[in-house]
């Protein structure tokens, strides 16, 4: 469970022999990280001082607002009442309207005392409620999928918050172990270094999209739509057919290599153009379908046309941790070309 200020990432790994890993599941939750807690805190301050006062304070003294949020980012690590220093400029703006103490009359969970804004533990916890509910709901969804979870490892900058650690422990300790490193933020950096040195530890990962290549084939009125039909010197063709390389949710072996053989669609063709696409659809038929987006292309010179349409072009595709690497070679002309695209894991 990788929890940051921006989002929450849930990854399920299975241990194999030799300490190797297979990735079984990956999901990302936006707007549930530490910044959601910050927003709730700022909304509460706006309610206390009124929109008019707070908007004036934000507009005139943005550096003071930034300092308040920075101080809160450190205070939110605790699990108790918190005292926040009220900036002089906030008090000055507020007192133009009324005594600052009056803003706190009738406010549940907050009080003002000699330059300090005191927020109760209960109100402090309420800032976390949306984030905790979202995380808990999605982690329970993982358990409901039938994974045999033995341990939850809680890491990331948001994991330093005692409120989050205690909540996750209380919710899931009856189902599995819940572990959090002494320094959960630094553990991410350490893990990245270790993975860089031992990249073979993770053997399989899930693809976040269906990836494919656009090709042309002989036009068949029983299989193809008329809109995709075109004609050249060598006959009638259907263009923009989507040929799947890997499907959404499929496990892909790292360093897995796929090889394809292509032929020119015209005897005197001197350039082979390959266009690559991705989509959340499982099996699209055409690259022009809604939700199919182009992610890149590869051009290969093919100057020797002696063999006409019998010329073979080998296309090799290799998947690694971050990229899809593509190489093309014309076996007749012996020309080569290569490129790579970012490959999104699920």
C-beta of residue 339 within 8 angstroms of C-beta of residue 276: no
Interacting residues of 253 by C-beta distance below 8 A, sequence separation 6+: 203, 204, 319
User: Ramachandran region of residue 115, left (φ > 0), alpha (ψ -120 to 50) or beta?
Assistant: left
Stated pTM of the model: 0.60
C-alpha to C-alpha distances, 51 to 46, 143, 167, 285, nearest whole angstrom: 6, 43, 32, 53
Nearest to 331 by CA among 266, 275, 261: 261
Q: What are 26's strand-pairing partners?
A: 11
Whole-angstrom distance, CA of residue 65 vs CA of residue 42:
9
Q: Which helix (H) or strand (E) holds 328?
A: strand 323-330
Q: What string of pLDDT tens digits covers the 346 residues of the chain?
A: 888 888 888 888 887 766 667 778 878 777 888 899 999 999 999 999 999 999 999 999 999 999 999 999 888 888 899 999 999 999 999 999 999 999 999 899 999 998 999 999 999 999 999 999 999 999 999 899 888 899 998 888 888 888 999 999 999 999 999 988 887 666 666 555 555 555 555 566 778 899 999 999 999 999 999 999 999 999 999 999 999 988 888 877 777 788 999 999 999 999 999 999 999 999 999 999 999 999 999 999 999 999 999 999 999 998 876 788 999 999 999 999 999 887 765 5
């Amino acid at each position: 469970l990788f929890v940051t200020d921006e989002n929450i990432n849930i990854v399920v790994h299975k241990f194999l022999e030799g300490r190797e890993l297979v990735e079984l599941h990956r999901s990302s939750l936006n707007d549930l990280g530490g910044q959601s807690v910050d927003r709730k805190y700022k909304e509460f301050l706006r309610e206390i001082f009124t929109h008019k006062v707070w908007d004036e304070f934000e507009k005139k003294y943005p550096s003071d607002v930034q300092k308040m949020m920075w101080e809160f980012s450190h205070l939110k690590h605790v699990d108790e009442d918190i005292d926040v220093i009220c900036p002089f400029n906030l008090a000055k703006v507020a007192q133009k309207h009324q005594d600052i103490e009056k803003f706190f009359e009738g406010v549940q969970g907050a009080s003002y005392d000699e330059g300090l804004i005191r927020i109760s533990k209960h109100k402090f916890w309420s800032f976390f409620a949306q984030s905790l509910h979202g995380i808990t709901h999605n982690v329970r969804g993982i358990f409901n999928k039938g994974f045999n979870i033995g341990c939850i490892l809680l890491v990331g900058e948001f994991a330093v918050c005692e409120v989050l650690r205690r909540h996750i422990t209380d919710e899931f300790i009856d189902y599995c172990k819940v572990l959090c490193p002494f320094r959960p933020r630094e553990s991410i950096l350490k893990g990245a270094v270790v993975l860089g040195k031992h990249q073979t530890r993770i053997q399989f990962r899930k693809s976040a999209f269906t990836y494919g290549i656009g090709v042309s084939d002989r036009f068949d009125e029983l299989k193809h739509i008329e809109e995709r039909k075109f004609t050249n010197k060598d006959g009638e063709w259907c263009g923009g057919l989507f040929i799947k390389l890997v499907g959404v949710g499929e496990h892909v072996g790292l360093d897995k290599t796929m090889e394809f053989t292509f032929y020119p669609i015209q005897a005197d063709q001197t350039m082979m153009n390959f266009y690559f696409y991705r989509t959340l659809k499982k099996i699209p038929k055409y690259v022009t379908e809604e939700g199919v987006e182009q992610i890149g292309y590869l051009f290969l010179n093919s100057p020797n046309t002696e063999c006409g349409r019998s010329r073979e072009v080998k296309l090799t595709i290799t998947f690694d941790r971050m990229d899809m690497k593509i190489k093309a070679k014309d076996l007749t002309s012996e020309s080569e070309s290569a490129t790579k695209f970012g490959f999104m894991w699920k």
